[in-house]
Structure 1
Amino acid sequence: MFDGLDIFQLATARARHAAARQAVVAQNIANADTPGYRARDITDFADALRRLEVQGGDPRGDLGIRTFDVDAPASPNGNTVSLELEMVRGVEAQRDHDRAIRVYDSALNILRSSLGRR
């Protein structure tokens, strides 16, 4: 009944995007010492959502998240992972996920209040 509300779909999509970014960050960190490894990142949420709207997709389905190589200087062994940048990206992903959960929770509380339930 309420699964069609845009606020819940967007909050869910945002949380899934943050989880995908966190997975890419974890993969980068795991390969920080791998010679020739190229650090990766994913398109930001606004771009993924815009592309989804153009294609007429559903935020509950595939978000169309794309990964790309990060343009960063390489170390002598050809690795482009910067642990400092990955830590920042990890914190950004955590904040995005927390924000999505807070939006979802707030919308749910508003819905409960409007129905007279607490």
Structure 2
Amino acid sequence: MSVTDLPVVAMLRNRMQWSQTRQKVLAENVANADTPGFKARDLRAPRFTPAGELAASGLPGIGVARTSASHLAGGAPRGPGEEREKTRFEVMPSGNAVNLEEEMLKVGDNQADYQLAASLYQKSLQMLRTAVGK
């Protein structure tokens, strides 16, 4: 078994690739802010099944179990940008739906997500090296 086949490492690598692709889409939105009729785009975040697996690719993940009736039942997770999405589609004078302030907030959130995933990836690899004695 390769180190890259480990579920945690594979999920972190997948998250970093998703963040990289999302950064490209957000940069296109900012670049086309003055293009008449342009509509901003965004990527959907990876979704997990209740068992904790990634719905699209079937990678195993971490599941949440309710082991006591006094525990709170889990609901649909709310992402950091969902509150801003409600006010998103305001039309600018150029006739497009790109709000530069919101796009730049998304870019900052995406950068922080990528930094977190990269840091966790690095720490996971360091922990594996320590476990094998290197």
Pairwise TM-score range, normalised by the shorter structure: 0.7 to 0.9
The structure having more radius of gyration, on CA atoms, is: 2
Partner SS, residue 42 of structure 2? strand
Counterpart in the other structure of 1:62: none
CA offset at residue 77 of structure 1? 2.9
TM (normalized to structure 1)? Answer: 0.78
Partner SS, residue 4 of structure 2? coil
Count how many residue pairs are aligned between Structure 1 and Structure 2. Answer: 103
Aligned residues: percent identity? Answer: 32
Counterpart in the other structure of 1:41: 42
Counterpart in the other structure of 1:83: 100
Q: CA RMSD in A?
A: 1.9
Higher strand share: 1
Separation (CA, whole Å) in 2 of partners of 1:19 and 1:91: 13
Pick one of 94, 99, 109 that aligns with 1:92. Answer: 109
Q: Looking at both structures, which has the greater relative contact order when contacts are Cα pairs under 8 Å and sequence separation is at least 6?
A: 1
Unaligned runs of 5+ in 1: 60-69
Unaligned runs of 5+ in 2: 60-84
Partner amino acid, structure 1, of 2:123: S
Higher helix share: 1
Partner amino acid, structure 1, of 2:11: L
CA offset at residue 58 of structure 1? 5.2
Counterpart in the other structure of 1:18: 19
Separation (CA, whole Å) in 2 of partners of 1:30 and 1:7: 35
Residue 3 (structure 1) aligned with residue 20 (structure 2): no
CA offset at residue 9 of structure 1? 0.3
Counterpart in the other structure of 2:125: 108
1:3-46 CA-to-partner distances (Å, cap 9, x unmatched) read 2101110110110111111111100000000001011111123x
Separation (CA, whole Å) in 1 of partners of 2:34 and 2:12: 35
Q: After TM superposition, where is structure 1 displaced by more than 2 Å over at least 4 residues in a row?
A: 52-55
Counterpart in the other structure of 1:73: 90
